[in-house]
Structure 1
Amino acid sequence: MQYLSCVEVEPTHEASASVIWLHGLGADGHDFEPIVKELQLPEQFAIRFIFPHSPSIPVTVNGGMTMPAWYDILDMSIDRKVDVAQLTQSANAVQALIEREIQRGIPANRIILAGFSQGGAVAYQAALSFGQSLAGLLAMSTYFATKDSIEIDANNKQLDINIMHGSYDNVVLPQLGEKALQTLQSLGFTPSYSQYPMEHSVCAAQIADISSWLQQRLR
């Protein structure tokens, strides 16, 4: 099987957990690679970090320019009209990476999906529709693009979901993060939600909170 090309950061000890972390529009798998050191995780957690590269496709809202993207964005309205078929295809490719981690000896309940912006929208779809219980979902500066079409798998109806957003984000407005929170709550989930005084990015306080959350989920 052909998998997405990835950057992989191995722990000092043999991996006992995995985090698959999806980048945003126009970036690649190297974008969040430096965050591994910034998380300052104790060695005993032995987490393998996997940063996939999206394919490069034409993006309508950027004048049809070809760039790394998980799916096409057709307009930038508050509800974001996106190519759901492409998003689902990307989510399927990410689920294949989860399956590969399971084949490599990492149980599904020791695997976390994380995604920033576009990557977060794919992570929502991939995690909530996956057929085995995962350890958690980290949704950063993103939105729940497939809320009206997703088929949530029974195994992940209790998934631990951590939503993080910048209060000054003018790319993906905070209202979209809040809307995802409300949608998930209406579906019976109990996500956590945090806002940080930042734009469409990550900040030091957020990184510290991510580290604590990962340690809690994967201890």
Structure 2
Amino acid sequence: MSNPPIEIETGPNPTATVLLMHGLGADGNDFVPIANELDLSSVGPVRFVFPNAPVIPVTINGGYRMPAWYDILGADLAKREDEAGLRRSQETLEVLIANEKARGIPASRIVIAGFSQGCAMAFMTGLRHPERLAGIVGLSGYLPLADLTAAERHPANQQTPIFQAHGQRDGVVVIARAIQGRDTLKALGYDLEWHEYPMEHSVCMEEIADLNRFLVRVLG
């Protein structure tokens, strides 16, 4: 990562962690305001960890260097995926999960979440993690390396609840792409909670309220 993660704790001695990844071109500060809208007081002190993606050339943007979890090779997100970049960032996120465990937060009290590219990384990492996580959250993104998910997923997270949400008017990651991932995960037997909202590639207050309820449920 280019910079260390941003961390916010809602109280001393956190008993749970929400690891939340930003989207392409953003940084760890991007979702701090969203976290501040959440009320998780009923589950005890929570540590929010907002990692910063590395700054790399992004092919679809003419090779311009920007924060990205992996390269975007073309408009068709499924046909040409940066598998090496996805796996490198997966390793980075596994280190952050291990760090939370070293600080006393068990995997079963960790939620991995993300928006857009961060959503792809939440799915990429959470479905393959070798210990049961509290939850996986995917916002306005898609399932990466979808054809490899069945073979690479870890049984430890087969029963982990998944929250997936998307904007009906999203022109960056079209909702059909998200629905494909949703249907793939449901066909594999995952407990997936789906939400869609009349918005573009963004976040809305109704979504935050639904996410709040999900987090209280999986961390309660």
TM-score per shorter chain, which class?
A: over 0.9
The whole-number CA distance in structure 2 between the counterparts of 1:186 and 1:194 is 17
Asked if the contact 2:2/2:54 (under 8 Å) is kept, the reply is no
Q: CA deviation at 1:4?
A: 6.5
Q: CA deviation at 1:37?
A: 1.6
Q: Which residue identity does 2:98 align to in structure 1?
A: E
The whole-number CA distance in structure 2 between the counterparts of 1:157 and 1:43 is 26
Residue 214 of structure 2 corresponds to which residue in structure 1? 213
Asked if the contact 2:59/2:74 (under 8 Å) is kept, the reply is yes
Tell me the secondary structure at the aligned position of residue 32 of structure 1. Answer: helix
Tell me the secondary structure at the aligned position of residue 30 of structure 1. Answer: helix
Q: How many residues are treated as equivalent by the alignment?
A: 218
Q: Does 1:40 align with 2:39?
A: yes
Q: CA deviation at 1:43?
A: 6.3
Identity %: 43
Residue 82 of structure 1 corresponds to which residue in structure 2? 81
Residue 91 of structure 1 corresponds to which residue in structure 2? 90
Q: Which residue identity does 1:94 align to in structure 2?
A: L
Residue 147 of structure 2 corresponds to which residue in structure 1? 148
Q: Does 1:176 align with 2:177?
A: yes
Q: TM-score, normalised by structure 1?
A: 0.95
Q: Deviation string for 1:64-114 (max 9, x for gaps)?
A: 100000000111126352211111110111011111101100011000000
Q: CA deviation at 1:199?
A: 0.3
Q: Which residue identity does 2:62 align to in structure 1?
A: G
Q: CA deviation at 1:16?
A: 0.1
Q: Does 1:8 align with 2:23?
A: no
Q: Which residue identity does 1:64 align to in structure 2?
A: G
Residue 66 of structure 2 corresponds to which residue in structure 1? 67
Q: Which residue identity does 2:20 align to in structure 1?
A: W
CA-atom RMSD in angstroms: 1.5
Q: Deviation string for 1:16-60 (max 9, x for gaps)?
A: 000000000000000001112211332652110000000000000
Q: CA deviation at 1:157?
A: 1.2
Structure 1: give runs of 5+ residues left out of the alignment.
none
Q: CA deviation at 1:13?
A: 3.0
Residue 25 of structure 2 corresponds to which residue in structure 1? 26
The whole-number CA distance in structure 1 between the counterparts of 2:195 and 2:100 is 29
Q: Which residue identity does 1:192 align to in structure 2?
A: E
Asked if the contact 1:12/1:43 (under 8 Å) is kept, the reply is no
Q: Which residue identity does 2:134 align to in structure 1?
A: A
Asked if the contact 1:140/1:165 (under 8 Å) is kept, the reply is yes
Residue 115 of structure 1 corresponds to which residue in structure 2? 114
Instruction: Point out the structure with the larger helix share.
Output: 2
Structure 2: give runs of 5+ residues left out of the alignment.
none
